[in-house]
Chains A and B, each alone.
Chain A
Amino acid sequence: MLFKKTFSPKDDERLRHLVQLKRQEKPDEAFWDKFDEEMRSKQLAALVRTQSWYERVGKLSILIARKSAAATATASILALGVFTVSQTDYFTGGQTTTSLTQTEPMHPAVDDASAIDQPIFVVNDLHPQAEANEVDFSYGINATPSYEINALTKKSIPVNYQIIAEPKQFTAGHINSGTDLGAKVIGTWSHF
């Protein structure tokens, strides 16, 4: 774009007046009525939004989570894992909750017909705790304890289960064919 490098004071004055004509580009009263109405509703929304309790709780949660991210994450995952396992049908039949770390087999109620075809879990601790006075070199100091969970059914349905719940890893796979409902510990570390 080519234009003069300098311009006279008169030209400058005329340009100013021309530009200032843009001051006359004004909305009418109806525009401002609509503007005020929209403004009020947006302002109200902003007011409610800034005072909502859940936003404050959310911000507080983020703050807490930042402060203890690792602990919160671990606890959440563990809780999720326990919840997932406890919600399965395999723990029904008079035994609503079961410790996953127990090494004794579980016996479903014999008179519970619905439980007959249900698989049961047998939990096998793959890394039994070393005695207090001895050092266990079978796995590292920080190694994750592992448990094997075997699903046993009367019909020997070939199903595999894998339940991951950090820091503990539960693995299930083998169906012991012909096993009765009586729980039986199967599998050893060598199976993996």
Chain B
Amino acid sequence: MSVIKTITKPLVSSPERRLEADEDLVIVRKIQAGDVDAFDSLILKYRERVYSVIYNLTSNREDASDLTQETFIKAFQSINRFKGKSSFFTWLYRIALNTSLTHLRKNKLRRFFSFEKMVEEDHTEGFIENLKTESDSDKAALMTELQERLNDAFQKLSVKHRTVITLFEIDGLSHKEIADIVGTSIGTVRSRLHYAKQFLQGELKDYIR
């Protein structure tokens, strides 16, 4: 199986995304009108993506769970202040990022990691098969080692570089969307992304060549 394949459909900025934003706005208006139960649908829709972003920033599944909940509670409490100038998704991501950054700042001296188990899917198999050509290690051990090296390399990145590469490569956002969320220019996003990739190339060179 070829390693070079599309892993997951990227969430690019598109007419679908705009439609999604419009749908979110309808739900937000309902909540603002007093239908608080409607917020559940937004939680259900975004919880995994918000969790994923926070998890990849913190590399701690317990912290990520708490911070994801905190993000939704903050969004819920301030939903009446959401005016629809940006999409709900962008607004929610900003809350998630700020919540995570505050947490990371507060706990930078006592950080520890706890990782999610890597769920094996078709493309994972492909990657492992590819790695096996260079090593005869047991598949599970190889995966664990790869995951550790990957997360280790991620945590060596600065928060701003980790944020950009997480949003771009893992969450599949566009440069423009990342710039909106992070509050910077598209050029800065590209620059940070380039640096982050170069850094990871160096850290993960054994797995890349």
Which residues of A line the B interface, CB within 8 A? 1-5, 7, 11-28, 31-32, 35, 38-39, 42-43, 46-47, 50
Contacts and interface: CB of A to CB of B under 8 A. Distances in A.
A154 B90 CA distance: 80
B76 A43 contact: yes
- Contact residues of B: prevailing secondary structure: helix
Contacts of B118: 21, 24-25
Interface in B117-131: 117-121, 123-124, 127
A47 B209 contact: no
B64 to A, nearest CB: 9
A93 to B, nearest CB: 57
B131 to A, nearest CB: 10
Contacts of B207: 14, 18
A114 B132 CA distance: 99
Contacts of B209: 11, 14
Interface string B68-80: 1100110011000
B169 interface: yes
B42 to A, nearest CB: 11
B201 interface: yes
12 contacts: A7-B198, A16-B169, A18-B204, A18-B207, A19-B165, A20-B8, A24-B121, A25-B119, A38-B69, A39-B43, A43-B72, A43-B76
B198 A46 contact: no
Contact of B7 (A23, A28, A46): A23
Contact of A39 (B72, B115, B203): B72
Contacts of B123: 17
A2 B197 contact: no
* Residue from the set A3, A28, A32, A38 with the largest chain B CB neighbour count within 10 Å: A3
Interface string B32-54: 00001001000100011001100
